[in-house]
Structure 1
């Protein structure tokens, strides 16, 4: 039989085996026979108020310890009966509960008051204006919503209600842009939401401000907020050398990251010196995180330290150091990788026209590995192609103009590549363009949106077009994706749409809605477009709501359409229109004069 016993409250000190009848202990003021008198539950009393002999004998035995009672309760009295229990022969379970009740009272009576902790330092003053009343109520509603990402989830119907959880990131971004501070009462829910969703953290912590960081210092569940640096205790300590050094050497990991980030923001050289002082004693996983924190203020001054990290014991630390160095075009590593890359790629003028010829590496030597080249390729990838791609990706893109006859990026990309090396070479250039944020190379590699060869064809774009688009200006991204949708529809445009700025430019939004309307009229399965519809809810300009109202009607189902698709499309467009109007209301509530 398994029983659940009352768990005793945490005490300042355990009272051990002491019990009420010990000499020198107060008998208390409880009623006769109660727990305070030391009489055991169920004990019999002889005539005249005296205990019966067997009761006196039982009272003289010490009570079982709390650990013994707990063990008997967890295992069950049929498997382990606590010794020294009155009435154990009649009903051991009842006797166990009675004894646990007595022991609980005894332990509470022996509670020692804890030492008072010092009061927390008051939070820094936040001079930002409070949210307007309507916006404050809206934040409460968004934080209390329990709908997960994408609505109800699963494959069921979502209905017509907007997915509030998907609107929270936009609300936070808009409120932060207005310069508001979060209401004090909403801070715990706001920090809980940021803890659960990393995409909310930058704007949520900005809105929470210094009081949010103050709360994070008091609750271990919110320690993630301290890694943002800024204005918490770590941020304050960063201004005091002795306090910063003490927190760096003795603080929690999150506090150490925060103080390092804060010092780097003020003085990158001082922050690097702090990291150097304990680098050799850090754990590998901590070294990796500290190294990653150098990204924001990365400069040529960090190169000597990163060069030393190339010889680190941890493979992940070495790879991260190599990645950071490759992001510095003038670094020695970038130069070494560039020299290796141009030794593999050359211009051949011996044929009918110029072309690019490739001679991939035949081995990966120790120097290449030290500079971050992974020796073992992934499954299905050839070794030489794998090594070539890593060299070209890490090489500065500027070397190719001189190496390939003074040509601009667009002209280089247009050159034919011999021996089927074009896909590998262009893919490596794509990764380099994204890493180095080179818009000219990204534009050249993207080219115009590919034309569909036939009705059953698919779009073919070199590399990852969504990542390449992220390098281009917002207007150029939207125009490229608009042309892509006109040529290929929405089936292959989901990731491309995610790379476009919000709200979508009017031509892009119109192209998306027109494509959805075509699918609706054709009676296509609406759930095939649920991802694009979800993006439209978050990214379409709210001013388009009235124009979309006619699409909320249930269309006539074509003979070859999917049965019942019209009802689904109607719900989807009703939800889209409702979400756009809700977004418009949100933005209006955040206006300063709301």
Structure 2
């Protein structure tokens, strides 16, 4: 029998329902589904989230809200989602139209060269992935090159392309180390965007101009209002900004509300005085020594000890001097230490913490705090007019050398004393420079920070040439970028020696990563001879030769990429 098609436009007849054993269960399922949808609709925002969770996990793992598990769970979930969607849309109430935001401010800086703009997009969108076995492969890690790119672009005074600002702010949000350079490059438009997107609010706190001290005829009034009514982060930024151009005004502002601030806020505000610390800060810091918060007292004492002419420095010098003397009866003469037997109330008021950490003796703990807070000028007068270098060379009796030298290291860093830093560092070729010694590598790295960039690089180059790279990572991190030529050559030579020796290659991955970012790009030509897979000694780590070749290939590629990036920022058509 041939079926006759229905005429066009005619209604399609309903398919008859054939009674059967499952008819009742189907009707029941439909009723259950409707009930589920109604319950989900009434559950509000939490119900919607539950539906989303069930959809993501699957109804076999997460039963929809108000429903039952089984074959009908998926259909019930879809019905409930449809009902909830209608409810959410219907529940919206028309609101009064908000005013349009002010137009984004202009950026007077010149635009990026077009090649540099394309490079920026590549750097911001790079998603590096590890090669097999956790190895990095030979491709450069572009995101690690972004800080240098930003530094160069800022040095040349370029403006950020408007279309790149969202990605740039997202990158700065995820990496705090990027924020200063990224926000300087983004310019005033970054602040405009940050006021529209809560995810970028950090820019209002961190960007130059985000909460800087207002200018103009009513500047004082607006500063006062921001200080009284602003968010905590805005107040910190305001204080830091004001401190750089009007230290007395910043100090006056802080004093006006000091007594009513929370302890944790007082600590942060006090820390801002490190910028431009001056003798005029002493009276305020002396009052802070009586603060009810131990952390505030300790910070105030630390700042006062960084002022060698302060009354606290004189008090600490007097205490420390009674603990250290020169025993001329010994041959050669030696320093003797008699640590304090108690920590009295006056010591605690001056920032000495009475209770030592676990595993530390009380007397050595107190002595270390006195010695690091005393002006370094105390010691030549106390030790027969010897220079810093001669004092450091003196033996110290009864095992006190490490404690005393560590305290002097902290004092040299705090007081930014290059003479004492050089004496404590010693010669980089000395045997003790590569071992534990009286001054640890961590302390040496901090001491290097008190020296100029050239002197720092020269010392670390000498250290690497004598002791190799195994202990040099912390020291390299203190050197300016790009590395000076002697330092770069020392690093490459040490890597080559490790490669030829068949050393375990992954031990040097950290130094390799630093070299990619810090080695002068002009060194790339010297590395071409290291790209081949070397012959592996019998005792070499398996696969070491291939890893070294791959690592040097990545290093050379990265250096040439950095050179190209610099050239793109130097020349080219802007756009």
TM-score interval w.r.t. the shorter chain? 0.7 to 0.9
Question: Partners in 2 of 1:511 and 1:78 — Cα distance?
Answer: 64
2:528 is equivalent to residue 573 of structure 1: no
Say if 1:466 and 1:153 are closer, same or farther in 2 by CA, change over 3 A: farther
Match of residue 298, structure 2, among 308, 319, 334? 319
Q: Which residue of 2 aligns with 1:462?
A: 439
Unmatched 5+ stretches in structure 2: 1-37, 55-61
Q: Which residue of 2 aligns with 1:231?
A: 209
2:308 is equivalent to residue 334 of structure 1: no
Match of residue 150, structure 2, among 172, 190, 201? 172
Q: Which residue of 1 aligns with 2:189?
A: 211
Residue 445 of structure 1: how far off its partner (Å): 0.8
2:136 is equivalent to residue 158 of structure 1: yes
Residue 116 of structure 1: how far off its partner (Å): 3.2
Say if 1:195 and 1:166 are closer, same or farther in 2 by CA, change over 3 A: same
Q: Which residue of 1 aligns with 2:488?
A: 509
1:269-322 alpha-carbon deviations (Å, 9 max, x no partner): 222222222222222222222222222132222222222222223222222222
Q: Which residue of 2 aligns with 1:221?
A: 199
2:108 is equivalent to residue 127 of structure 1: yes
Larger mean Cα displacement after TM superposition, 197-206 or 122-131 = 122-131
Unmatched 5+ stretches in structure 1: 1-62, 83-90
Q: Which residue of 2 aligns with 1:486?
A: 465
Residue 426 of structure 1: how far off its partner (Å): 0.9
Q: Which residue of 1 aligns with 2:3?
A: none
2:267 is equivalent to residue 288 of structure 1: yes
Q: Which residue of 2 aligns with 1:114?
A: 95
Q: Which residue of 2 aligns with 1:8?
A: none
SS of structure 2 residue aligned to 1:128: coil
Question: Partners in 2 of 1:189 and 1:70 — Cα distance?
Answer: 31
Say if 1:553 and 1:544 are closer, same or farther in 2 by CA, change over 3 A: same
TM-score normalised by L of structure 1 = 0.80
SS of structure 2 residue aligned to 1:502: coil
SS of structure 2 residue aligned to 1:561: coil
Give the number of aligned pairs: 520
Say if 1:125 and 1:297 are closer, same or farther in 2 by CA, change over 3 A: farther
RMSD: 3.0
Question: Does the CA contact (< 8 Å) of 1:369 and 1:375 recur in 2?
Answer: yes
2:386 is equivalent to residue 402 of structure 1: no
Question: Does the CA contact (< 8 Å) of 2:130 and 2:136 recur in 1?
Answer: yes
SS of structure 2 residue aligned to 1:357: strand
Residue 181 of structure 1: how far off its partner (Å): 1.9
Residue 237 of structure 1: how far off its partner (Å): 6.8
2:504 is equivalent to residue 525 of structure 1: yes
Match of residue 243, structure 2, among 264, 274, 279? 264
1:411-433 alpha-carbon deviations (Å, 9 max, x no partner): 11122222221111111101111
Q: Which residue of 2 aligns with 1:438?
A: 417
SS of structure 1 residue aligned to 2:570: coil
SS of structure 1 residue aligned to 2:134: coil
Question: Does the CA contact (< 8 Å) of 1:478 and 1:505 recur in 2?
Answer: yes
Q: Which residue of 2 aligns with 1:546?
A: 525
1:519-549 alpha-carbon deviations (Å, 9 max, x no partner): 1112222111111111111111101111101
Question: Does the CA contact (< 8 Å) of 2:179 and 2:206 recur in 1?
Answer: no
Residue 195 of structure 1: how far off its partner (Å): 1.8
Question: Does the CA contact (< 8 Å) of 1:229 and 1:261 recur in 2?
Answer: no
Say if 1:106 and 1:347 are closer, same or farther in 2 by CA, change over 3 A: closer
Question: Partners in 2 of 1:96 and 1:447 — Cα distance?
Answer: 73
SS of structure 2 residue aligned to 1:472: coil
2:255 is equivalent to residue 254 of structure 1: no
1:325-365 alpha-carbon deviations (Å, 9 max, x no partner): 22222222222212211121122323344322211111111
Q: Which residue of 2 aligns with 1:19?
A: none
SS of structure 2 residue aligned to 1:571: helix
Give the helix-richer structure, 1 or 2: 2
Match of residue 145, structure 1, among 126, 135, 138? 126
SS of structure 2 residue aligned to 1:270: helix
TM-score normalised by L of structure 2 = 0.83
SS of structure 1 residue aligned to 2:498: helix
Question: Does the CA contact (< 8 Å) of 2:111 and 2:159 recur in 1?
Answer: yes
Say if 1:313 and 1:347 are closer, same or farther in 2 by CA, change over 3 A: same
Question: Does the CA contact (< 8 Å) of 1:504 and 1:540 recur in 2?
Answer: yes
Q: Which residue of 2 aligns with 1:181?
A: 159
SS of structure 2 residue aligned to 1:590: helix
Question: Partners in 2 of 1:92 and 1:416 — Cα distance?
Answer: 82
Question: Partners in 1 of 2:339 and 2:156 — Cα distance?
Answer: 53
Higher RCO structure (Cα 8 Å, ≥6 apart): 2
Say if 1:338 and 1:95 are closer, same or farther in 2 by CA, change over 3 A: same
1:228-261 alpha-carbon deviations (Å, 9 max, x no partner): 3632355447862222222222222222222222
SS of structure 1 residue aligned to 2:171: helix
2:396 is equivalent to residue 417 of structure 1: yes
2:146 is equivalent to residue 202 of structure 1: no
Larger mean Cα displacement after TM superposition, 392-401 or 112-121 = 112-121
SS of structure 2 residue aligned to 1:131: coil
SS of structure 1 residue aligned to 2:335: strand
Residue 574 of structure 1: how far off its partner (Å): 0.3
Q: How does 1:556-567 map to 2 (within 5 A)?
A: 556-567=535-546
Question: Does the CA contact (< 8 Å) of 1:364 and 1:375 recur in 2?
Answer: yes
Question: Partners in 2 of 1:79 and 1:126 — Cα distance?
Answer: 52
Say if 1:469 and 1:234 are closer, same or farther in 2 by CA, change over 3 A: closer
Say if 1:520 and 1:398 are closer, same or farther in 2 by CA, change over 3 A: same
Q: Which residue of 2 aligns with 1:383?
A: 362
Question: Partners in 1 of 2:140 and 2:240 — Cα distance?
Answer: 38
Larger mean Cα displacement after TM superposition, 413-422 or 262-271 = 262-271
Say if 1:226 and 1:317 are closer, same or farther in 2 by CA, change over 3 A: farther
Say if 1:580 and 1:99 are closer, same or farther in 2 by CA, change over 3 A: closer
Residue 103 of structure 1: how far off its partner (Å): 6.4
Question: Does the CA contact (< 8 Å) of 2:47 and 2:65 recur in 1?
Answer: yes
Question: Partners in 1 of 2:451 and 2:333 — Cα distance?
Answer: 29
